[in-house]
Structure 1
Amino acid sequence: MKKISCNIIKDMLPLYHDNVCSGETRKMVDEHLKECGSCKKELDRMSLDMNIPKKEFEKNKIDSNVIKSMSKLWKRSKFKSFIKGVIISALSISLIVLGYFGLFHWNITTVPTEMVEIKNVSELKDGKIVYDAELTDGYRLNRLKYDMDKEGNFFITPLRPIIKEESQPPYTLEKGYDFIDIKDQEISRNEEIKKIYYGTPKDNILIWEKGMELPKASEEIENMFNFK
């Protein structure tokens, strides 16, 4: 058989390697490879080159899966961080709003009786008790809370926010006359009122107690509280 040149064999090696050549061609290449070390090395190199991409492919596939997993984890972490940030921001805003209202609008601070002056306690013709209350600290009074304990002690508690506001005319609760309708309070609470205090159970000024004789209110005060 005529010896085939290495150039021809090398051209056939890809087909030989992929096993897509004819039987005669394979036999011819086999015969040549038995005697030609150069072509044998070329075939080995070709096999190696084909194997390396396969390994690289598997490695890249693994790396790709790792990257995808890391990407998913990062996205989840990013989403969790976003949600966490939203919650923290919402809580912070809520605390700021609550703090603002708590400091400036919630009437939660009582006024010490050392800053309160009660005078001109009298009784109207219809039995209501009137009194003149004045806060001497110069700050506004926002609310009066009415409460009663089991012993029949009725408390009128002055309340204001933590951040106080200066009192300015026209005055509301911090300076002027007010009244207590004892009968109406007893009916609504289904309890007998024995004493009336201005302040808290621990810090108060006695306005009236059962059996106390009060002066009759003046015509001016009667007209002030004439609700007819």
Structure 2
Amino acid sequence: MNIKQTLTFVLQSVVIGLAAAAIVLLLIPGSFLTNSARQVDSYHAAIEAAAPAVVNIYSGNSYTEHRNPILQDPLFRRFFGESSEDKSSSSNTRKRIDSKGSGVIMDAQGHILTNAHVIQDAEEIFVVLRDGRETIAKVIGVDSDTDLAVLQIDLNNLPVIPIGDSNQLHVGDIVLAIDNPYDVGQAVTQGRISATGRKRLGISSFDNFIQTDADINPG
């Protein structure tokens, strides 16, 4: 089995479990309903079980900053003086850090599942945990067909997502999505399972998707 086949197999297995407990959370009725009216009282327990393992992912990319040409003009310097910045080169290379998306810590070894487009073209990848810890991540593998990527971080005492069983999912089940919209902090949206076993989506390597109408915000 070559590397791509191995990665695809691992990603497929992870997605099946992840769909029930990570970015999309299956709420088991018996755990979160009141005894009387059997109505959902709160999703707090489900969110607290998953949210610590949801991380924010940033990318670092170099770019060239060009100085305003007027600062190099002799007439401008004559009237406004010459600063140390004016004496430097007309351009500087800097690094821009952008918030790209979210991911989920899958195990104690620091493997993180995220989307491939989140880390696309990133020179460096930074991960920020809910508890405030920050670290650099390395790319373990990418599967463009399913838009999935596996990263790894080297930290101790990592919160790990509880994996569910996608075979227990049913159309109409409540799901929650945890993200970090516009880098303002974690937020939760609610939806339902719209369909299971979605096929014929033009993705050759994996063709068994779970559809949900939960809003997914940028980040």
TM-score by length of 2: 0.18
Higher strand proportion (structure 1 or 2): 2
Higher helix proportion (structure 1 or 2): 1
Larger Rg: 1
Relative contact order, higher structure (CA 8 A, sep 6+): 2
TM-score by length of 1: 0.17
